[in-house]
Structure 1
Amino acid sequence: MTLYAAADHERYVAEPPKRVVAPERTPFERDRARVVHAASSRRLAAKTQVVGPQSDDFVRNRLTHSLEVAQVARDLSRALGCEPDIVETAALAHDLGHPPFGHNGERVLAEFAQACGGFEGNAQTFRLLTRLEAKTFGPDGSVGLNLTRATLDACTKYPWSLADADTHKFGVYDDDRPVFDWVRAPAEGRRRCLEAQVMDLADDVAYSVHDVEDGVVAGRIDLHALDREAVWATVREWYLPDATDPELDEALAGLRAVEGWPDAAYDGSRRHLASLKNLTSDLIGRFCGAVQDATYSAGDGPFVRYAADLAVPATTGHEIAVLKGIAAHYVMRADDRVEVMSLQRELLAELVAGLEDRGPDALDTPFADDWKAAPDDAGRRRAVVDQVASLTDASAVTWHARLASG
């Protein structure tokens, strides 16, 4: 706590003192509890991570992924000496803004929302935390969970607006700028606080390793028989456009040298499952250990807020990208998956159009209220976007069927 200034503990709307519970919780522990108990956190259990949560009992959903990111983030933050509760809360919250059907749904909403300021999962997360997930009210309405400045800053993976974005990634909508500017007051330009950098790395580590694990168990990935050229093409197209073959070959060789990398196809036995679980643990330890060592070597710290930056070795970045490329090529680009994704996009496009046509009577009360209070068509469209983004995969299908039948 002593490494964090008084401003880091501030909330956008001041709150009266809480009843003291022994032992008394810190402001950052309260932040974590608020995210854990949020309705949007529960909905993550029914939202797609890579494949739909209803497709298999083993595959990860957005909630289990977020829990795994939180565990990796907490361990790394503790090793570096920054506040674990801040980083863990950011990790638990990092996917709250994802709509139904994951990144597939995100693309549909981004196209639909062009006329009202765009859509991006990380910007939607910020909107949920500071407006939509109502817990605290200020003079101008809901301020969401009213988290501390340090925690909200750690949740900000892309600290810029759509107008300032170099790619399709951004972290705030224009009408959420007041609280965003308050959060970012101590920052300079686009620099992210160290806690946000740890959260982002933990996300990369977790999904690169676990998506491959899911793919192996599902019989889609055979780690000892990879199509090198096809995977390298996917790595360059999706993640590292400038990566050379020698760099990626070196990264794969490093991964294959990890104890437990399979030398035979996965057969579903307990022995193979245990070996696979040990491999995922070793890979996570390899990546986090390399980053911890590099960060210590890059500076003396303290490793909090804007006093330092996380150092990720190029080799580690390449190894993570290779794993992500393997999952992308064999899972996300599989013919059956591409067909399902096409149907999902069609369903979601029809849903947002239908809800906009029906108006507030078709929306849940909070979003209907936003529609009625909106000053223009852009505001009304944003209410529809917020409504659809809040839905789970299953509820999106149900809402679509209800519109189609009525």
Structure 2
Amino acid sequence: MELIKSNDASVTFAEPTTAASLVWRNFSCIYVDNQKQNFVSCDTCKDILHHKSIDGTSSMMKHFRSCEKNSINNNNESLTINEYFSSLKTRSVPTRSKKKVLNATVELVAMDNRAFELVGGNGFINLAQTIFDVGQELSKSQNINVSDLLPHPTTVSRNIDRLFISRKSQLISLCQNIKSYAIVVDFWTESHSGVSFCGISFHFLNEELQLYAFILGCYPYDRDNQSSSQIRQFVDAKLLEFDLSLENSKFVVTDNENKMKSCFKEPCIRIGCSIHYLNKQLEHCFTSVTLEKISVNCDLVQEMFDYIRKIVSHVRRTHKQSKLPRKLQSYSYTRFNGAFLTMNVFLTVFDDLVGVLDRTFLDDYMLIDKDLLEHVCSFLGPFEEVINELSCDKKPTIYKVLPLRQCLINRCTIHQDDHDGIRQIKTFL
């Protein structure tokens, strides 16, 4: 290096006489007193690299691509044949690396609810290989076939139980140290199979008042009946698996059905779900004729909603969705404020439906009062906002219930210029 810096006459640079790699076009061999040295010089930046013939040209290629003076223009130059075609030689993947990928894949299918076959699909392999190739371009490491790295779907499925046991053990350890918490319990029945399920989640605040929520499980209900005592025993048994129990200082959030009220009268503090109560009122408004033997008296909006549901069902069943700018949404009683979602989407494509419907459903379409539909969607918009506000799972929302409730009560004040259908909704709510 000192001889080169001092421009000593004994140091000379020369191109290699025989060179298989095109990268030699950018490097020169170094000679001292006509004796070839184990060093080469970059023709662009004049940096000196250690080089032996047995080492190959990988270090030279890496330097050439990262050369500061050359990198500015590299993007505009044509790729050499060596850059176009990567080496076909691959090396085996270390066991430790494969285990890391296996664990990440198991968590992928578990957390994102994906099929085990996901990692075996051509599209996924292509994506993973592309990402890996990009990483190789940056690191200049040896080629690795990504298929050798990914576990087989069967291997993933066999590790799901292992992951579940591990995570459950961690959650049990966490639950043992939490003194104040709330449990959310929900029951529902799958319509096709008739099987009932119980969902239980666990919520608590840490010392920094950050809200944490964990789903303990979604369990098939296997008791003889659904009496309040049987349901309570079922829930207590599932909580006991996590060393949890309901006491006078523990909170339980449930819907407002009489059965759930009876289940959790004591020894715990039951809090009725405000969103469930609000949703049930909206559901009755559009689907029920009577409630506790009292007439709902929302005929105008219920008639309109029936026409909308018929048209939506027809369009979806006859595969005419592609002719509309937006997909119509079927009504679902399990979806909070489901009537609003169905009507609001229907309103956005209202004018486009004329060219899609046949004569039978076009008659129903003509009976829908668009002005009433616009008023109903406008009126229900704040209800949707309140539901979303109370549905936050990142921080407590119980302190918002009363002010938001009062806000909705104020919105139900009847005005002289209200549409008759809106008057009916406000009166019922």
TM-score (ref. length: structure 2): 0.28
Decide which structure has the larger Cα Rg and report it. 2
Higher helix proportion (structure 1 or 2): 1
Higher strand proportion (structure 1 or 2): 2
Instruction: Tell which has more relative contact order, 1 or 2 (C-alpha 8 A, sep 6+).
Output: 1
TM-score (ref. length: structure 1): 0.29
